[in-house]
Amino acid sequence: MTEQVLLILTVLAPLVGAAGIVLIGDRPNLRESVTLITAGGLFAINIALISFVTDGGRPEVELVSFLPGASIKLVAEPLGLLFGLIASGLWIVTSIYSIGYMRGHGEKNQTRFYAYFAIALSSTMGVAYAGNLISMFAFYEVLSLSTYPLVTHAGTEEARRGGRTYIGILIGSSIALFLFAILWTWTSTGSMDFVPGGILRGKMDSLSLSVLLGLFVFGIAKAGVMPFHRWLPAAMVAPTPVSALLHAVAVVKAGVFAITKIAVYIFGIDLLAEAGSGRFFMYVAATTIVLASIVALRQDDLKKRLAYSTISQLSFIVLGAMMGHSLGIIGGGMHIATHALGKITLFFAAGAILVALHKTKVSEMRGIGRTMPLTMAFFLIGSLSISGLPPTGGLWSKWYLLMGTLEIGDYILFVVLLLSSLLSMGYLLPIVVRAFFAAPQAGGHGGVGAAVSDAEEAARPAIKEAPLFILIAMAISSAGTIALFFAPGPVARLVAQIFPDLGGL
């Protein structure tokens, strides 16, 4: 199979899967098999692309000559490959999870759910492998649109309002800012292609560069840089599998991935460093990191807390992209991987708690570690990853970013990154501690008889774990997090391929 065919298949295969899901309709097991087979196939295709890219090749295929001088084309390069692998791999895991969740929760309209999920993955692949800005923009918009039915799945008034914020901010920012930036790039340079070293050198003065960079950073609102972050908590009305994959992995990662790719291939790391354009935005990212963590501390709804945690963690990657140093890109790329695995575990656990115990609020989660020990153990692993603690991969991505801040001599940012770890521990670890060590909330109050039965209950908590499929999914993602601790090399080396003069890592 030639590499061009593989590339086209990354976008096409999920669409075919979506068609299959729609055609099969109401036969659940058959329909879910289509999803699993498509997801597995997509992951295999991405793996097949690895060898072509690590050889130094950049497979390229032009899909359609869209406008004179601009075509929709796909190009496989290290960063995109990394994102493609993560998104497709986690699609498999999320599909396993979805089966458990959607059935355990009795969700309706499952065909529509799985079909739009597949379309969303297709557009994610398109963003990952986009060969120029216009292709990236096209797939980016399709991603926003295809995830809207997923976010508003419940069809309730609350879902409608959440959906409005979601689509309003995403489409609004992308048309008003992102598209403007793309057109500005086009008129200034005559090109929209992603080229190593960037295409903007010598084409505009440094003030214009900074404004252009700002248009990209804020226009790509999927990266959650404040103040364009409100769509993330609003999207938490979605069913948890949607939150897990899309908002811990695909949608948000598409945003930070896009910013990173634009920093490397449109601006060029060296240009960013020389012109100093990234400086200001590093501080914008740092502000988001800290502010979002503080807001997370104050959230009682678990999914909202995780949402703000995501906003905070995403800005790590943005900070890395704005650094103007290869360590920032490598750290950011690694963080795409480690955060994806860690966060998805946390969202899976949140969904598990919802399905098994019907709880959504942190304040109600005392002592649930006795009823759901496995789930809370996985939650612990996810928390460690987000906080950047061993034995999880989150340690290494933070490590590279910290090294990067030292290399560019910015000690304030160094401190901010360390501070954020503390804050993450603050909003995640207490949940685990209270789950395992606090007394479970009793049902009744008052009366000797009631107290006795409560004590008996506390003495022998029944284990009421999440459905099996959910547990399997959480196990896989946690294992991945821990695996990345012991073997971060392949990921780091893959991203470092972007910088051929870096030599060995």
Partner 1 sequence: MIAHLPALQVAIPLFAAPLCVLLRKGTLPWLIAVAVSWVALLIAGVQLDNVIDDGPISYALGGFAAPFGIEYRIDPLNAFMLLIVSGIAAVVLPFARKSVEAEIREDQHFLFYGAFLLMLTGLLGMAVTGDAFNLFVFIEISALSSYALIAMGKNRRALRAAFTYLVMGTAGATFILIGIGLLYVVTGTLNMADLAQRLQPISETRTVLVAFTFILVGVSLKLALFPLHLWLPNAYTYAPSVVTAFLAATATKVAIYVLLRFVFTIFGVDFSFGALPLQEIFLVLAIASIVIASTVAIYQNNVKRLLAYSSLAQIGYIILGFSYGNVTGLSASIMHLFNHAATKGALFLIMGCVVYRVGSAHIDRLQGLGRRMPLTMFGFTIAGLSLIGVPLTAGFISKWYLVLGAMERGWWPVAVVVLATSLLAVVYVWKVVEVAYFRPLPEDAAEVTDPPLSMLIPAWILILATIYFGIETSLPVGISQQAAQFLFAASP
Number of helices followed by number of strands (H, E) in the chain: 22, 2
3-state secondary structure of 125: helix
Least distance (Å) from partner 1 to the CB of residue 110? 16
Per CB under 8 A, does 179 bind partner 1?
yes
d(CA 355, CA 359): 8
Least distance (Å) from partner 1 to the CB of residue 67? 6
Least distance (Å) from partner 1 to the CB of residue 157? 8
3-state secondary structure 371-393: HCHHHHHHHHHHHHHHHCCCCCC
State the sign of the Cα–Cα–Cα–Cα dihedral 139, 144, 147, 148. Answer: negative
Least distance (Å) from partner 1 to the CB of residue 286? 29
Q: Which is nearer to partner 1, 155 or 391 (CB)?
A: 155
Q: Any idea what the Cα angle at residue 358 is, between residues 120 and 482, rounded to 5°?
A: 60
For residues 338-353, b (16+ Cβ closer than 10 Å) or e, as one string? bbbbbbbbbbbbbbbb
Residue with tokens 């612990």, as numbered in its chain: 380
Site for partner 1 in 277-306 (CB under 8 A): none
Least distance (Å) from partner 1 to the CB of residue 71? 11
Select from 101, 117, 137, 257 the one that contacts partner 1 (CB under 8 A).
137
d(CA 165, CA 231): 6
Of 213, 220, 221, 58, whose CA–CA distance to 129 is shortest? 58
d(CA 260, CA 246): 19
Q: Which is nearer to partner 1, 129 or 379 (CB)?
A: 129
d(CA 128, CA 123): 9
Q: Which is nearer to partner 1, 179 or 475 (CB)?
A: 179
Per CB under 8 A, does 190 bind partner 1?
no
Residue 487 C-alpha from the chain's centroid:
21
Select from 23, 30, 67, 487 the one that contacts partner 1 (CB under 8 A).
67
Q: Which is nearer to partner 1, 148 or 400 (CB)?
A: 148
Which of 19-27, 180-188, 320-328, 392-400 is the region at the interface with partner 1 (rule: CB under 8 A)?
Answer: 180-188
Of 171, 170, 30, 47, whose CA–CA distance to 114 is shortest? 30
* Number of chain residues interacting with partner 1 (CB under 8 A): 30
Q: Which is nearer to partner 1, 15 or 297 (CB)?
A: 15
Which of 4-12, 63-71, 385-393, 404-412 is the region at the interface with partner 1 (rule: CB under 8 A)?
Answer: 63-71
Least distance (Å) from partner 1 to the CB of residue 64? 6
d(CA 117, CA 244): 12
Least distance (Å) from partner 1 to the CB of residue 181? 11
Select from 19, 36, 37, 145 the one that contacts partner 1 (CB under 8 A).
145
Per CB under 8 A, does 204 bind partner 1?
no
Phi, psi of 71 (to 5 degrees): -125, 165
Do the Cβ atoms of 341 and 484 come closer than 8 Å? yes
Select from 1, 26, 55, 64 the one that contacts partner 1 (CB under 8 A).
64
Per CB under 8 A, does 138 bind partner 1?
yes
Per CB under 8 A, does 187 bind partner 1?
yes
Per CB under 8 A, does 487 bind partner 1?
no
Q: Which is nearer to partner 1, 152 or 478 (CB)?
A: 152
d(CA 139, CA 222): 13
Select from 60, 62, 107, 141 the one that contacts partner 1 (CB under 8 A).
141
Which of 6-14, 182-190, 351-359, 380-388 is the region at the interface with partner 1 (rule: CB under 8 A)?
Answer: 182-190
Least distance (Å) from partner 1 to the CB of residue 192? 12
H helices within 299-325, ranges in order?
302-322
Q: Which is nearer to partner 1, 181 or 250 (CB)?
A: 181
Q: Which is nearer to partner 1, 4 or 208 (CB)?
A: 208
d(CA 154, CA 77): 38
**483's torsion region: left (phi>0), alpha (psi -120 to 50) or beta?**
alpha
Do the Cβ atoms of 177 and 215 come closer than 8 Å? yes
Select from 8, 105, 107, 180 the one that contacts partner 1 (CB under 8 A).
180
Residues that bind partner 1 (CB under 8 A): 64-68, 72, 134, 137-138, 141-142, 145, 152, 155, 157, 159-160, 164, 167-168, 171-172, 175-176, 179-180, 183-184, 186-187
